[in-house]
Chain A
Amino acid sequence: MPLTFIEIEKQKSWRIGVLLLALICLYFLAAIFLLLGLSVIFPFLFLYSVTNPLNLAAIFAFSLIAGGMHFWFAASGAVQRVIRQLDAAPPDPEDSLHMQLINITKELHIATGNTRKMSCMVIPSLSMNALAVDDLNGEAVIAVTEGLLSKLSRAQMEAVMAHEAYHILSGDCMETTVAASFFGMYASALEKLRNIDEEKYRGYHPAFLLFWVLVRLSQMLNMLISREREYRADAASIRMTRNPLAMAEVLYILSRGWTGVGLISSGIEMLCIVNPEPGELDESEGWWSNLMATHPPISKRIKTLLMIAHMNKSALKVRPEVNTGTGDMSPTGEVSSFACPSCKESLFVMSYEKTTVHQCYSCGGIMVENNKIPRILARREVPCTDRIRSLAKAVLTDNQRNLTVRRLRSASIKLSHPLKCPKCRNTMFRKFYSLAYLLEIDRCNVCGITWFDKDELEMLQCLIENKITASIALPGLEEEA
């Protein structure tokens, strides 16, 4: 393995060349299989054999064009596609944790000699994962979920970012981005065809065979995505941070948390630091798993890192200081430019869970920008008070009953005095935070802010932290049954 980031960068071009070649070969094989299949079904259409040199040359020319075009389309706008899919946004410099992420990205540029422009993004999700995407437009992005950002210390975050930076510099990202697009594109096309088939073609669509062959072949592309690259990225991370224990701790934390199953779709899981939905192959060893799996077993990665750190597993049990908030709301001394929608008093800027919110001293209501809500929810680690817990449970049960009654009567919420948005003065909508967490909040859809009445934000944090959800069944009916 190359020792410096300068040497890692040099290896990139030939690896991408190999990938392009593999793509062309796959198209060539797909075309041959398709023609062979069709010549068996419709022999009268194929007067000349597929093995005829002229035909082979024509097929090769087709695969050359198809492979080249595929590579270009897959790798040119990949970053924007993935970012849109995950709803990731640039970090907020006013948030101390996001600022830390920006600083670490700047440090990475220095460590890698500014050879590649990399930017960081935050995925507003409570899951814990990180991924790197790269494309031919020269964009490279490292995206980290809000959940991971709040659970890791600075040293651990440095380790994650260095790991992802290696993937970008070594060309791994380009490989995986193209491979992911290959699989994702054909799998979704096949899925769409299946839906059409049922209605019109009853399972026989001419393109069905082609896409089926392409999906099978794209799975073979996984063979190119070696699981060794994760070990190499771990090693590069240690070289930069000189801290093997931090990387081991990260993997330990990830192995015990929600890594985004359901959120990160099957097309892009190979871009992540750990597979969001590890299958049996990912957690096993042997030549077949080595060939087909994209990620190595986490336990083996942790073991290797601990060996380098000359430590044993007990070192992982000691949790270092993490970036979770204290649960206290402290004034920053600034008066907000907005007024309380309820009692019209001025709001005050408060520091809460390492970000800022606007609070009314009079009624205790809190105004929060929508993009800050996932941060606040992710950073909660302090146990909620008994008062908040019992209040949250009571409100939840009450709202559950109201919702069921309303559903049975097909009625909607009618407020006598709807609140006006403190920012744009438009009427805010009163709605439930989600169907799982039935807490009523006021939301302005124009400027993207949410108003929480007194204790509502803490109740929401308590419900999510303790996973207290509403059951959809009618409580009265349950008792009768």
Chain B
Amino acid sequence: MTWFLIAFIVVIPPAWAVLAYNRLITLRVEVKNAWHQIDVQLKRRHDLIPNLVTVVKGYMDFEQETLEKVVKARTKALSASSFHEKAVSEIGLSQAVSGLLAVIENYPTLKANENVLRLQEELTTTENRIAFARQFYNDLVANFRTKIEVFPDNIIASVFHFRPAEYFSADAEDRALPKADMSARPK
């Protein structure tokens, strides 16, 4: 009985520690992978925007401001270095693109143009993909953060220095802006 107890004490805690550690590593890799998925979609958007701007420029003489906003937001997003900067600038770009897509709706000549329609669909799907990738990433981050903070997994997390991943979202002050609602995706 004593030997059994000793074996129990010697085997169970290390086995649990290995399992908990592996689980945390898996979650961290999943979070990283989800972030790369967002990155792929962001790159797709950065490549698409110049095409759209070139096509719609001639038709939208009175909407230069909207176009400039998009171009500026894209430049800002491209130059962002830190994770936080990137998150904030990309959300700004999303809003600018949503504005542009809404404006296109008001131009019947633009809507009749096959090229514009194709680009509009491409941009709409890219915006959706970014939103969904972001949602999926944030779900995984929530899972990871919960795992790090709950007992007894938090012991392993602190021993091996697992840091909570950041959510892909705007700051509180950004959210206070009137257009910060990401749910208003283009239809």
Binding site for B on A (CB under 8 A): 3-6, 96, 99-100, 103-104, 106-107, 110-113, 153-155, 158, 240, 242, 320, 332, 351
Contacts and interface: CB of A to CB of B under 8 A. Distances in A.
A174 to B, nearest CB: 23
Contacts of B118: 96
B37 A155 contact: no
B129 A110 contact: yes
Contacts of B117: 96
B90 to A, nearest CB: 16
B128 A107 contact: yes
Given A111-B132, A113-B140, A153-B187, 17 more contacts: A6-B139, A6-B140, A96-B117, A96-B121, A100-B121, A103-B121, A103-B124, A104-B125, A107-B132, A110-B41, A110-B132, A111-B135, A154-B187, A240-B132, A240-B135, A332-B114, A351-B114
**What does DSSP make chain B's interface, helix, strand, loop or mixed?**
helix
Interface string B167-187: 000000000000000010101
B26 interface: no
B34 interface: yes
B41 A4 contact: no
B136 A111 contact: yes
Chain A contact residues, majority secondary structure: helix
Interface of B: 34, 37, 41, 114, 117-118, 121, 124-125, 128-129, 132-133, 135-136, 139-140, 143, 183, 185, 187
A245 to B, nearest CB: 11
B49 to A, nearest CB: 17
Contacts of B129: 106-107, 110
Contacts of B140: 6, 113
A306 B18 CA distance: 48
A11 to B, nearest CB: 15
A236 to B, nearest CB: 12
A154 B186 CA distance: 10
Nearest to A153: B187
B124 A110 contact: no
Select the residue from B128, B135, B140, B187 with max chain A CB neighbours within 10 A.
B128
6 contacts: A96-B117, A100-B121, A110-B136, A113-B136, A113-B140, A332-B114
A240 B34 CA distance: 16
A104 B127 CA distance: 12
Given A110-B132, A111-B135, A113-B34, A103 B114 contact: no
A4 to B, nearest CB: 4
Contacts of A5: 136, 139
Nearest to A162: B132
Q: Which of A4, A112, A113, A332 has the most CB of B within 10 A?
A: A113
A155 B187 contact: yes
5 closest A-B pairs by CB: A111-B132, A103-B125, A155-B187, A4-B139, A242-B183
A401 to B, nearest CB: 43
A69 B41 CA distance: 44
A158 B136 contact: no
Nearest to A102: B125
Contacts of B37: 110
Contact of B125 (A3, A106, A242): A106
Contacts of A104: 125, 128
A257 B181 CA distance: 35
Nearest to B143: A6
A104 to B, nearest CB: 8
Contacts of B136: 4-5, 110-113
Contact of B121 (A99, A113, A320): A99
Nearest to B134: A110
A45 to B, nearest CB: 57
A141 B54 CA distance: 38
Contacts of B121: 96, 99-100, 103
Contacts of A153: 187
